[in-house]
Structure 1
Amino acid sequence: MLQSNLLQTDSTRLPFGAPAQSDQMESGGIGDLINFGLAFLRRRYLMIIVTTVLATAISLLYLRVTPPTYTAQVQVLLGNPRAQFVQQQSILAEQAFDGTQIETQLQLLKSRATAAAVINQLKLTEDPEFNGSGASLLSLWQPVRTLLSSPPQERQSDAHGGPLESVIDTFLDRLSASRVGYSNVIEISFNSSSASRAAEIVNAVANAYVTDQLEQKFEANRSATSWLRERLHDLDEQALTAQRAVDAYKAQNNIVSTDGKPIGDQQITDLNARLAAARAQTSEARAKLTRYENLLGSDPAKLTSIDGLDAVGPDAMNSSIITALRQQYLEMSRREAELSARVGRDHLAVVNVRNRMREFRISIFEEVKRLAGISQSEFELAKQRQQEIEKQLAQAVSQSRSTNSAELTIKDLESRAKGLRSLYETFLQRYVGSAQQETFPISETRVIFPASPPPSKSKPKTIRVLGFGLVGGLSLGIALAFFRDVMDRVFRTSSQLEAALELPCLSLVPLLQLPSPTKSTIRAAQTVEDLRQRTISNAPAVHQTVVGMPLSRFTEAIRSIKLAIDHNPAKTSNQVVGITSALPNEGKTTIAASLAQLVGHSGKRAIIVDCDLRNPSLSGTLTPKAVDGIIEVANGNCSLEETIWRDPKTNLAFLPAVRRRPLIHTSEILSAENISTLFDHLRANYDYVIVDLPPLIPLVDVRACAPLIDCFVLVVEWGRTKIDVVQHALHTAPDIHESLIGAVLNKTDIKAMARYDAYRSDYYDDSHYTRYGFSDS
């Protein structure tokens, strides 16, 4: 159960306690969502602001270094309407400006030929903006790009003194043309660093395109007129010759036809239609006869013999005799079922009913045989009719074979004559139109309105660039901040700890910044009197905080731990409390010492036992000169009273752990019977036994001494301990997890907590700390 819960918690990787926050938001609604957003901004506002400022600064730098660009635009109309008489006499087919044709015109506008014509007209090869001698970033880059992409032979001017390829490439990069919506209007745009220059060039491009269209149409009309004149003479002679050949062949072969079609062909067509109908009728009669034969092939004595009666066809279904017999049969079947259910299937009345049913089936079959005979007659008649039509068709085909050769020849001659005459008339009409069109040439394209110098630059757009930089920087900052929150897999809030570990958070212990020990306190620990009386006189300031600062936030946090221990449902008369953590240096020793000091200062009999045999840091801090400890007492080398040290201020007893040599099998020592006996003795003589245990992850000592402990308190360091580490530690120690009464979030930065938990505020006055010379971070 613990493993599934931990895995489920680990799978939801949301920022700083997101599982708990998510539950709150689901239960609290929009209010908790707003609080979550405000807390997120309080935590990461600096990162968001810095990212936004950097993005805005980059936008300003871009606006500063990028030269302005002006875009002039002109619109050209395709398919300029012409006078009706011109359209009727035009020799060339009217151009349908569909999507493909308009795309073709766009490519012509952006062709190198158009660019070369405009460059030569305006002498742009001498313009610094195009020949690479200007200071524009685009003009500086364009020659380099051209030299890298074009072959060596194209890097020089052509034989006719045309512009350099680099100038054409620069020109085409600045030129653009596109269709306006779904209309026949093309919009031409040109970018330049000068507004007047951009308008001049784009107007020149439009005029060059219109002029080129007009010249091409005029040249096409002139060439077509010359060719048509010669072609008309030849077509006239060919049409007359073909017509004379048709007339002569008809007279020679005595061919007669009605409506342009030979009489024999009409007869064959009619016979074919009649034969198709006869074959269809024969096929239908055969199918009906087959269904009758299939039904008659079954045994009338069987009950299932008339099941296929409906499949015979409408003749059987519409027969009044069969319908009456079937109704009587169904009535007998119903009576047979009722009698069988009443007197049994073998009763004489039931057998008589079955015999009557068999007679009805035989009668039905007799009627079906009569219908089958009728169907056989219909089939024979249809078959005979089909054979007669086939004979007539064969005779007609035989008669028409003698004239097939002549008909094919006459058809070919007539087709040739008609084609030549039609072609002649068409060419004559085109010739007349072409002759008229030469005197009245008109272009299908025109400029709607010439371009004027643009009043403002087209790019870079100052507002757009700044807006993009601001919005982009803000979005990037929020994304980075959110990513930083997602990757922050440490404990930050009590709700996060409770959701991840499924344990109550007993207390939030603040981080203390205490003054370093003075020389006087160090010398006090070295007096002979203290060693002789085993008195603790050099306790660190952090361990004495609960006594020296009774109204501080730290002391209240320790009181919360004691209150949770006192209200533990499994509490025994003599409580043994184990203080542990997942990793070293999380502050468990400080929590254990402070809790013991608080219990002792309240008047209870309390003892703190150092069971961290590998690293007895508490013993090294409180009793550095101790010669005997818990191991010696357990082995019987000395008594408990000779080993215990006491704090004169709180009357707290302390059982140290003396490390004379490296200990290897510490888990065996803690799980020994003599240690259990020692703890039984401590239970009998003290109200509280506070045990400073080693961490869970590096050692197994905590699991070894688990039977000695009544309840555990888990210490977790705020902002440093990974959630996955603590979950893994509890997963590997299920016995300890069952005995845990809760967890403590230690070394908490109370001021930073406001950025993670919007519900927590500062309940205490900092004067309680400064009064004793300490300060809370």
Structure 2
Amino acid sequence: LNSQVIKDLRSQRAQVSRRIAEMETRYGPLHPDIIKAKRELQDIDGQIKSEINRIISNLEAETAVQRQRAGSMASSVGQARGALAGNNRAQVRLNELERDAESVRTLYESYLARFKQTSSQDGIEKTDARIVARAKLPTGPSSPKIPLGMAIALISGLGAGAASVLLRRALDSGLVTAIDVENQLGQSCLASVPALGSTVEKGTKVPTEPFRYVLEKPLSVFTEGFRSLRASLLYSRLGNEVKVIAITSSLPGEGKTTTSMCLAQVFAQAGQSVIVVDCDLRRRSLNDVLGIDAKVGLLEVLAGTARLDEVLLRDQQGVDYLPLARSQYTPKDVFGTQVMDQLLQTLRSRYQIIILDTAPVLPVVDTRIL
């Protein structure tokens, strides 16, 4: 009677019954709406019946539990009654033993008083002292116990180390494997490039320019990571040719320029014509890596004050670079203009691969426009 679910179902049943009565006054008993409403009424009746059966089964289970508790309590009461009867018998025996002990205590006190009198008289004549055992000279400190302390410290250190490792592993929310990237981000993982310092031989100095290491060590694990990235990019869109690749990151200093130049070297080693375009208007990292100070660059080409062939730089591997010159004036919107679209179309016709070294996507809006 107190079930809110049954109350709701009965309220629904009353509404459906009222609706059936209204429809029967309008239509015949074989009207589809009436048949549908009757089926709904039967479904509600079935739900009410199943809910009642569930409540009854729960009450029966509670009744069984209460019966078991009542039986357990009855057993406990019987045990308590038996223990009380045993305690009564033991109390009678205890009273007898207390009377015996009192009589023995009185006799002992009389003997003790007599013994004290005798001892006081004998103490006047000689002392009652004797050597029980010879003291031994200690050969070491009694405390602290160094072996036990070292053992406890070793066990505690191992436990603390294991706990810290497990805690760090539990709190680690980063992306470690390609499966983590695909499961947590819902994106395809193209490749994993190892840190350069972890791939060089022990004792070898880590080169400051990773793209030169790609040229010097074409069979290294570091270079193989970029080969895997190149293969994934080329075959990421089956049936469509991949020509323009934009490299970006969330924040500055995460290796966009390094990735762009190393990837360009791998494309050049495969015999493809490639160009790297510096699209980071604020940092201009391409100039620092190449060690140049460009006088003209991408902005001048877009403004029409310089031709594309005058601005391009080429290294020994045949990779072309389109840098950015240091300029006091930068237009507000560079990459959303028609001139930029025309430049990309020109680069598509001249190169097989175009790599755009862009700005970080979170603090700068240029990359999203590009």
Q: Distance in 2 between matches of 1:89 and 1:616?
A: 103
Q: Distance in 2 between matches of 1:218 and 1:602?
A: 113
Residue 552 of structure 1 is aligned with which of 220, 237, 250? 220
Kindly report which structure 2 residues correspond to 1:98-497, keeping only aligned pairs within 5 A, or say none.
214=105, 468-497=152-181
Report the aligned-residue RMSD.
3.9
Q: Distance in 2 between matches of 1:88 and 1:585?
A: 92
SS in 2 for 1:214: helix
Structure 1 residue 670, shift from structure 2 partner: 1.6
Cα shift readout 1:66-90 (whole Å, capped 9, x = no counterpart) = xxxxxxxxxxxxxxx9xx9x93994
Identity of aligned residues (%): 30
Q: Distance in 1 between matches of 2:193 and 2:174?
A: 15
Residue in 1 aligned with 2:71?
A: none
Structure 1 residue 650, shift from structure 2 partner: 1.8
- Choose 475-484 or 557-566, whichever is displaced more: 475-484
- Conservation of the 8 A alpha-carbon contact between 1:509 and 1:558: no
Residue in 2 aligned with 1:657?
A: 324
- Conservation of the 8 A alpha-carbon contact between 2:294 and 2:326: no
Q: Distance in 2 between matches of 1:617 and 1:640?
A: 20
Structure 1 residue 700, shift from structure 2 partner: 1.9
Cα shift readout 1:12-31 (whole Å, capped 9, x = no counterpart) = xxxxxxxxxxxxxxxxxxxx
User: TM-score when scaled to structure 1?
Assistant: 0.28
Name the CA shift for 1:466/1:214 in 2 (closer, same or farther; >3 Å). Answer: farther
SS in 1 for 2:193: strand
Structure 2 gaps, min length 5: 1-89, 111-142
- Conservation of the 8 A alpha-carbon contact between 1:607 and 1:655: yes
Q: Distance in 1 between matches of 2:147 and 2:107?
A: 46
Q: Distance in 2 between matches of 1:88 and 1:491?
A: 79
Structure 1 residue 623, shift from structure 2 partner: 6.1
Q: Distance in 1 between matches of 2:236 and 2:348?
A: 17
Are 2:288 and 1:629 aligned? no
Structure 1 gaps, min length 5: 1-80, 94-212, 220-458, 518-539, 706-777
Residue 96 of structure 2 is aligned with which of 80, 87, 95? 87
Cα shift readout 1:489-535 (whole Å, capped 9, x = no counterpart) = 44444444444333315122331478699xxxxxxxxxxxxxxxxxx
Structure 1 residue 615, shift from structure 2 partner: 0.7
User: TM-score when scaled to structure 2?
Assistant: 0.55
SS in 2 for 1:670: coil
Q: Which one has the bigger strand percentage?
A: 1
Residue in 2 aligned with 1:669?
A: 334
Residue in 2 aligned with 1:402?
A: none
Cα shift readout 1:159-216 (whole Å, capped 9, x = no counterpart) = xxxxxxxxxxxxxxxxxxxxxxxxxxxxxxxxxxxxxxxxxxxxxxxxxxxxxx9369
Structure 1 residue 474, shift from structure 2 partner: 2.6
Residue 582 of structure 1 is aligned with which of 247, 250, 254? 250
Q: Distance in 2 between matches of 1:465 and 1:625?
A: 66
Name the CA shift for 1:685/1:603 in 2 (closer, same or farther; >3 Å). Answer: same
Are 2:289 and 1:604 aligned? no
Q: Distance in 2 between matches of 1:587 and 1:89?
A: 93
Residue 680 of structure 1 is aligned with which of 333, 341, 345? 345
Residue 506 of structure 1 is aligned with which of 182, 188, 191? 191
Q: Distance in 2 between matches of 1:658 and 1:218?
A: 115
- Conservation of the 8 A alpha-carbon contact between 2:358 and 2:367: yes
Q: Distance in 2 between matches of 1:492 and 1:691?
A: 26
Q: Distance in 1 between matches of 2:233 and 2:270?
A: 15
Cα shift readout 1:518-566 (whole Å, capped 9, x = no counterpart) = xxxxxxxxxxxxxxxxxxxxxx742222222211222211111110111
Amino acid at match of 1:552: S
Q: Distance in 2 between matches of 1:515 and 1:92?
A: 93
Q: Distance in 2 between matches of 1:650 and 1:463?
A: 66
Q: Distance in 1 between matches of 2:209 and 2:157?
A: 48
Residue in 2 aligned with 1:644?
A: 312
- Conservation of the 8 A alpha-carbon contact between 1:497 and 1:505: no
- Conservation of the 8 A alpha-carbon contact between 1:574 and 1:686: no
SS in 1 for 2:211: coil
Q: Distance in 1 between matches of 2:219 and 2:158?
A: 44
Return the structure number with greater relative CO, CA threshold 8 A, min gap 6.
Answer: 1
Residue in 2 aligned with 1:374?
A: none
Q: Distance in 2 between matches of 1:564 and 1:696?
A: 22
Residue in 1 aligned with 2:358?
A: 693
- Conservation of the 8 A alpha-carbon contact between 1:596 and 1:606: yes
